[in-house]
Structures are given as structure tokens and as C-alpha cells.
A and B are shown apart, each in its own frame.
Chain A
Amino acid sequence: DAGVTQSPTHLIKTRGQQVTLRCSPISGHKSVSWYQQVLGQGPQFIFQYYEKEERGRGNFPDRFSARQFPNYSSELNVNALLLGDSALYLCASSFRGLGYNEQFFGPGTRLTVL
């Protein structure tokens, strides 16, 4: 079985641009969560979606948005990119919502903002 997949692997953008990151969960998993990880820090929670509805949101500005599709895949959008948005963006899927279920992480998308 395929694990969590993310695309693209790497991305370079300039300040002010917009970016869309994609995530496909493990087959049968209905929850997807997004995290931002910068060097030296633990992953920072951005969003959780379960059954296509937002179920949790971290302390990120409105420039960050996400959605989950009927096939449970998800997109993370970031508008008006800032240099500080440069990070590894991780997606994780679980069978149900956050909490009692293990999360399975994808390989991440490395975003560089110049």
C-alpha cells in the first residue's frame, strides 16, 4: 500500500507569490493534517481536516488556507508569501481525527521563498 504522498518535493517561490501544496492520504484514511517545520523547531500545526471539514486550526495568519476533497486528498494554499514561510511542510493522515489515532507522515514539501 502506498503511504502518504506529497507534491511537489521542492519548490522555490518569490515574495508575494502564491503556492499550492498537495497531499494524498493513505487509502482509507479520512483525516489530513498540515504542519510547518523550520530548522530547530518541532512541527507547527496548521490545519486538520476530517471528512472534508476543518476540525482544527493552529496560529497561522489568514494567508494560509486548506481544503479537503471528496477523495480525502488535500491542498494547502499560502498567499502573499513571505521569507519566513520558507520551511518544510508536512502532511499527515490518520484513519479518524486527531487524538487516539496514529498519524502517518508524508515526505514533506520543502518551500524556499526568495
Chain B
Amino acid sequence: ILNVEQSPQSLHVQEGDSTNFTCSFPSSNFYALHWYRWETAKSPEALFVMTLNGDEKKKGRISATLNTKEGYSYLYIKGSQPEDSATYLCAFMGDDKIIFGKGTRLHILP
């Protein structure tokens, strides 16, 4: 059974601090890894699509890395702001299936 694990489940970070969290996924039959941000009462929003081992992507203060050989991806947020409060989901894609993790719930403290 394929499984995608995200850690931590929940995270409280002081405004202005930087943070990171992890997505672990199967290292076989890898096709792509997606990161999404899901704010309360909104739809999930795509952050990154990562496909190559060693990929690093950046969008503003948010960046992500990918290691397909060992099956993990990190998401980094630099200088957290209140608008970063959301659930961050990763999704593994392989064999015409997509498997989401349960997400990391990020709370930014003023």
C-alpha cells in the first residue's frame, strides 16, 4: 500500500520566523510531486510541481526541494507572515494515481 506521510501534523511559528516541513513518499514508480496550500474556506492552490531528483523551486518566500531516490521533499517558508497560515499538502503521482498526505497545518503567531 502506497503511503505519503507529512510531518509535523501541526506547527506554530512566530511571525517573521522561518520554518520547514517534510513530505515522505514512495521512491518507486515516481512521476511527480505536487505541493498545495489550502487556506480555510478556499480551494487548494498549487504551489509547485516537482519532477526531477534534485529539483529546487521557489515562489516568493516559499521554496521546495525534491529527493526522489530517498523519497522526500521539503517545503521552506522564509520570514513567515500571517497570510501563510494554511494547511500545506503534498501529493505523490505515480501509475495514474495521486496520493495526498494528510497535510501540515501551519499557524502563524503574531
Most buried by A among B42, B45, B93: B93
A98 to B93 Cα, complex, angstroms: 7
| Given contacts A42-B101, A98-B96, A98-B98, A90 and B43 within 8 Å (CB-CB) | yes
Question: Judging by beta carbons under 8 Å apart, are B96 and A55 in contact?
Answer: yes
Counting CB contacts under 8 A, is B109 at the interface? no
Residues of A within 8 A of B46 (CB): 102-104
CB of A111 to closest CB in B, whole Å? 16
Residues of B within 8 A of A107 (CB): 42-43
Question: Judging by beta carbons under 8 Å apart, are B98 and A41 in contact?
Answer: no
User: Closest residue of chain B to A44, judged by CB?
Assistant: B100
User: Closest residue of chain A to B31, judged by CB?
Assistant: A99
Question: Judging by beta carbons under 8 Å apart, are B93 and A99 in contact?
Answer: yes
Task: Give residues of chain A (69-114) contacting chain B, Cβ–Cβ below 8 Å.
Answer: 90, 92, 98-108
Counting CB contacts under 8 A, is A61 at the interface? no
Question: Judging by beta carbons under 8 Å apart, are A43 and B93 in contact?
Answer: no
User: Closest residue of chain B to A94, judged by CB?
Assistant: B46
Question: Judging by beta carbons under 8 Å apart, are B100 and A43 in contact?
Answer: yes
Question: Judging by beta carbons under 8 Å apart, are A42 and B32 in contact?
Answer: no
Residues of B within 8 A of A92 (CB): 44
A100 to B46 Cα, complex, angstroms: 12
Besides the known contacts A41-B102, A103-B34, 10 further A-B residue pairs in the complex with CB atoms under 8 A apart:
A3-B43, A4-B43, A33-B98, A42-B89, A56-B98, A90-B44, A98-B32, A98-B98, A99-B93, A104-B46
Binding site for B on A (CB under 8 A): 3-4, 33, 35, 40-45, 48, 55-56, 58, 90, 92, 98-108
Binding site for A on B (CB under 8 A): 4, 31-32, 34, 36, 42-46, 49, 51, 89, 91, 93, 96-103
Would you mind naming 27 contact pairs between A and B with Cβ atoms under 8 Å apart? Answer: A33-B98, A35-B100, A42-B91, A42-B101, A42-B102, A43-B44, A43-B89, A43-B91, A45-B99, A48-B96, A56-B96, A56-B97, A58-B97, A90-B43, A90-B44, A92-B44, A98-B32, A98-B96, A100-B32, A100-B51, A101-B49, A102-B34, A102-B46, A103-B46, A104-B43, A105-B36, A108-B43
